[in-house]
């Protein structure tokens, strides 16, 4: 299961109460409000744009992904990542079966559905290392992930008043959340620094801006219905595309 959710990165292209002593009360209160609101919901719908930037020395790479997702307890979901060409990855669970559709291969893998969203999304991992809408919806504790948190000011984001909260995550990564008064995040940015096998340090910045964050949205009956697209093959395991034969 973990490998399936790691497709976002392959796609291209993606502490307990004692820790609160490191947090300003305003930051902790906002994060608590965010966590409680998402954990209490039965369904979640998200639309966002994700920009992934990688830099090592003077070399830079940038990729933008459109993300649409619907989650409903106990084990219904529809998550779609697409690039500019409109192709990408779809993961859908209708409660009985789990489908993974890879447009580049025109293949669909069908499996028996796990019993919970946690099993589908996280697999054998206990949680995600970041604080975001999905992790809060899955009832993961932000306090177990955060070393320190503070309010860095307020600003307008797409006409909406938000509070900027900066986090130092366990492990040293930096994350920033832009939260409205209800604790809903409208932007999140994470900066990760990694040692490169060839030497030097690679910096990866993942910046996600949300167009929609809806708790308990009214969903159509077809929200989790799936049909294999025309021209696609259903496979037991994904198969690498065959290379064209070499000319004599």
What is the Cα–Cα distance from 177 to 135, expressed in whole angstroms?
A: 14
Tokens of residue 5, six digits: 């959710």
At residue 32, φ and ψ (nearest 5 deg) are -65, -45
Q: Tell me if 248 is assigned to some domain.
A: no
47 falls within a domain:
yes
Would you say residue 56 lies in a domain?
Answer: yes
Residue 17 pLDDT grade (very low, low, confident, very high; cuts 50, 70, 90): very low
Provide the token pair at 9.
């990165």
* Within-domain flag for 246: no
In a domain, 90, yes or no: yes
Q: pLDDT grade, residue 198 (50/70/90)?
A: confident
State residue 248's pLDDT score: 55
pLDDT interval class at 5 (50, 70, 90): low
pLDDT at 206: 96
Count structural domains, the chain: 1
For residue 77, the domain's CATH number is 2.50.20.10
Lookup result for tokens 């447009």: 103
- The tens digit of pLDDT for each residue in 65-112 reads 999 999 999 999 999 999 987 899 999 999 999 999 999 999 999 999
Q: Considering only residues 127 and 30, tell me which one the structure prediction assigns the higher pLDDT.
A: 30
What does the pLDDT average to over 127-138? 95
Tell me if 119 sits within 8 A of 1, measured CB to CB: yes
**Which tokens is 98 given?**
């789990």
CB 11 within 8 A of CB 88: yes
The tokens of 243 are what? 């290379």
Task: Note whether residue 241 is domain-resident.
Answer: no
d(CA 134, CA 210): 13
Q: Which residue segment(s) compose the domain that 48 sits in?
A: 2-14+17-233
How are beta strands 233-235 and 107-112 bridged, if at all?
A: parallel
| CA–CA dist 36, 104 (Å, integer) | 38
Cβ(194)–Cβ(204) under 8 Å?
A: yes
The residue assigned the tokens 């997702």 is 69
Q: What percent of the chain clears pLDDT 90, i.e. is strictly above it? A: 77
Give, in degrees to the nearest 5, the angle at Cα 88 between 83 and 92. Answer: 130
């Amino acid at each position: 299961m973990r490998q399936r959710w790691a497709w976002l990165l392959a796609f291209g292209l993606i502490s307990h109460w004692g820790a609160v002593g490191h947090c300003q009360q305003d930051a902790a209160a906002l994060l608590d409000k965010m966590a409680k609101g998402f954990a209490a919901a039965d369904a979640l719908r998200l639309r966002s744009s994700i920009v992934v930037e990688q830099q090592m020395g003077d070399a830079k790479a940038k990729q933008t992904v459109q993300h649409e997702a619907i989650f409903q307890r106990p084990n219904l979901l529809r998550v779609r990542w697409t690039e500019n060409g409109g192709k990408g990855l779809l993961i859908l669970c209708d409660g009985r079966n789990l489908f993974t559709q890879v447009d580049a291969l025109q293949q669909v893998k069908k499996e028996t559905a796990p019993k919970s969203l946690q099993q589908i999304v996280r697999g054998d991992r206990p949680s995600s290392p970041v604080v975001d809408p999905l992790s809060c919806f899955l009832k993961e504790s932000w306090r177990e992930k955060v070393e320190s948190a503070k309010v860095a000011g307020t600003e307008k984001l797409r006409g909406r008043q938000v509070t900027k909260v900066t986090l130092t995550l366990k492990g040293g990564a930096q994350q920033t959340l832009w939260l409205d008064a209800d604790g809903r995040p409208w932007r999140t940015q994470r900066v990760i620094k990694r040692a490169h096998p060839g030497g030097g340090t690679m910096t990866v910045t993942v910046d996600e801006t949300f167009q929609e964050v809806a708790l308990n949205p009214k969903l159509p009956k077809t929200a989790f219905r799936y049909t294999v697209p025309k021209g696609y093959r259903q496979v037991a395991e994904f198969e690498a595309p065959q290379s064209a034969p070499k000319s004599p």
